[in-house]
Amino acid sequence: MPFETTLVYTEPLLRRAVFCFWRREVGVRLPIAVLAMAAGLAWQISEGENSWFTGVLGTVLLLGVGMIAAVYVVHYRSTMGKFRAMGRREATFRADASTFTAATGVGTSTLQWSAVKEVWQFRDFWLLFFSRVHFMTLPKACLPVEMQEFILQRVRAAGGKVG
């Protein structure tokens, strides 16, 4: 039984999607490690230490902060760039037993359900992952309940994770 709906995108929705991806991907451990390194570096400097270890600690701290920031900035710029290129802020989403299709003013993509490796569910949207960092945002308000259930069932049947 095929389903079809119109997905309506807004800038605030996509900003939340990128932030939720970033928060979940970066997690808690990396910011804690960065804070611990910052505390260690502050202690080293307060003690007047200026050895090679202090330099390495400062470098690793900068790399950690840079990585945390880069994950957000790269995904935000990519998402907003695609959003602005869409023209109309809508996409047609079709789903049947073997494939799903997303069509915008820019183009159309049809994929097998097996392309979806994981679905992250949030209150206002879902993220369909095709790899660890490539995802599609589905505004949940645009998906009828039957279509939501169908999508999750097809992803699971194709071996994808739902979380």
Length in residues, the chain: 163
Report how far residue 144's alpha carbon sits from residue 16's, in angstroms, rounded to the nearest whole number.
21
Q: What is the mean pLDDT of residues 63-82?
A: 94
DSSP element (H, E) containing 5: strand 3-8
**What is the model's pLDDT at position 108?**
94
Across all residues in the chain, what is the average pLDDT? 94
Task: Kindly tell me if the per-residue pLDDT of 128 is higher than 90.
Answer: yes
Half-sphere CA count of 54, side-chain side, radius 13 A: 11
Question: In the prediction, which pLDDT does 28 show?
Answer: 85
SS3 118: strand
Which pTM does this prediction carry? 0.85
- Give the pLDDT of residue 31: 86
Termini Cα distance of the chain = 24
Q: Assess whether pLDDT exceeds 90 at residue 76.
A: yes
What would the mean pLDDT of 51-58 be, rounded to a whole number? 87
Give the bridge partners for 136, in sequence order. Answer: 128
Range 1-5 average pLDDT: 92
Segment holding 4, helix H or strand E:
strand 3-8
- Does 113 score more than 90 pLDDT? yes
Tens digits of per-residue pLDDT, 7-28? 999 999 999 999 999 999 998 8
Contact (Cβ atoms closer than 8 angstroms) between residue 90 and residue 7? yes
DSSP label at 119?
A: E
pLDDT at residue 157 in the model: 97
Tell me the CATH class for 3-9+88-162.
Answer: mainly beta
3-state secondary structure of 51: coil
Domain boundaries, the chain: 3-9+88-162, 15-83
> 69 falls in which pLDDT band (50, 70, 90)?
very high
List of E strands, 34-156: 90-95, 99-103, 108-112, 118-121, 125-129, 135-139
